[in-house]
Structure 1
């Protein structure tokens, strides 16, 4: 994975730029935006090309082309690319940011009450499957090229589509009941998350991670558990299992044992136990299930 420290974030809370009520950002490059961050705006993201994983709060889950993510305000998140034999593989993602504060009077219109309920009553961030999301691919691709009324009409069409698909939206519970930590805490978590992603293939000790954020091992363990609701070891293992799933699904390893060793597990027995704890099935069953699905 490339060095993510080339772009220094000013803060953990990153405001969406732009003076309008809606701001569109299109990212095309060799990786997704590489920082665990949050913002006060809703984020609607469409993955046009590429695959990888999403860290949302303390949740780690896969993400792939044509999936649509609706991320609640202040839900900390980070997309990161799947490892590939070709490091230059391009990712393409379109984001739409919008502030409910700016749009409060807009959503008071009687015609928008159904859409309003989708955003104002949402209990958690959501994802729409690639199967359903593919229908609005062209709308997202055209967003960045539109301005004024045409742009607004496209956005309303997107909102209406999401409203019509509300029963198909899958909840992404971030694991954080309330994101009440300060930006300084968020920057520490960002450093830890990036470090885990970059070093999951080897043994990572609590001592080296605590040193990274200038804390004692005991203080770090308490800090991380309080703010993510899980231990660092559990979080690291979830990243490893997600990476192992990518290897197994894409036939990039010859055996389950090879996937285990490539993802930082010293023994296949330990890998099998952690895999079943995270995925609720054994690696063998997981591979068989997805072989049938194909």
Structure 2
């Protein structure tokens, strides 16, 4: 079975990605990525597939996955129709290794990271502590999230009950995803030109896909629609301009690729929970404290 290569985009103003999923059930989605992943699954039970490891899992399932290790969880809806919750931290390999190498205080994490290439499953006690850390990360700004990530890694490194999952001889070699290179070029193009008008038809041609197939493929790979992804990049740039310049909101709206200020305000409110003017005002108030 061929695993799909997932494209991981760090959160705005972060070197890594945190996401919380609330799902009716977890579908089978066999995939891999070059990042380390910490995954905490709550209020869910089913079957876990990691490399050549296949076994049941249940409540408070905490796992650390090394780079390029194929994995998926699979469940059915809960009888009481409650949501199944998954906290995920995805950390770029090069960034994390450089962090550990350049800080003697973090050298104790080396063994944890190397062992994670087979996948590591942690004790219920460790998972309970990790749950509180993830809940703090969810509500924090990027700086506090970074500190929370270090606390989470340290917690896992101290769990003497952690179990290796996939066999030591397992190597995933079938990484030929015929769409990967073409899709990566599309993502690079979006990053370069996201403040200009972009059309799905144009991007689909670059990926040699039909427009409908491209929409489906993009959402599955990026976990958001094309429009949501472009708006996220534009709003991220707008935040930087609101913080670092005195330009008018209308000028920033134009510079970030929005056709009109009302659409900019609406998109900003959806993603940031405030209007651009409220965002800037709040920053000025903080600077006066």
TM-score, normalised to structure 1, is 0.54
CA distance in 2, matches of 1:136, 1:90: 19
Aligned counterpart, 2:93: 100
Cα shift readout 1:164-205 (whole Å, capped 9, x = no counterpart): 11x211110157621111344999xxxxxxxxxxxxxxxxxx
Deviation at 1:82? Answer: 4.1
Residue 135 (structure 1) aligns with: 129
1:15 aligns to 2:26 (yes or no): no
Instruction: Name the structure 2 match of 1:64.
Output: 58
RMSD between superposed Cα atoms in Å? 2.5
Q: 1:57 to 1:117 in 2, by over 3 A?
A: closer
1:103 Cα deviation from its structure 2 partner: 2.6
Q: Secondary structure at the match of 1:105?
A: helix
Instruction: Please state whether the residue corresponding to 1:104 is helix, strand or coil.
Output: helix
Q: What TM-score do you get using the length of structure 2 for normalisation?
A: 0.55
Q: Partners of 1:83 and 1:28 in 2: how far apart? A: 12
**In structure 2, what is the equivalent of residue 171 of structure 1?**
164
Cross-structure match for 2:119: 125
Shift of 1:120: 3.3
User: d(CA) in 1 for partners of 2:124 and 2:179?
Assistant: 31
Quote the residue 1:263 is aligned against.
none
SS in 1 for 2:64: strand
DSSP-derived class of the 1:43 partner: strand
Would the aligned equivalents of 1:21 and 1:103 in 2 still touch at CA under 8 Å?
no
CA distance in 2: counterparts of 1:186 and 1:64, whole angstroms: 34
Q: CA deviation at 1:58?
A: 3.0
Any conservation in 2 of the 1:27–1:93 contact (CA below 8 Å)? yes
| C-alpha contact 1:127 1:170 (8 A) present in aligned 2 | yes
Q: Within 5 Å, give how 1:197-212 maps onto structure 2.
A: none
Q: Which runs of 5+ in 1 are unaligned?
A: 1-10, 188-294
| Separation (CA, whole Å) in 2 of partners of 1:38 and 1:104 | 19
- For structure 2, the 5+ residue unaligned runs are 181-289
Q: CA deviation at 1:142?
A: 2.2
2:109 corresponds, among 112, 115, 133, to: 115
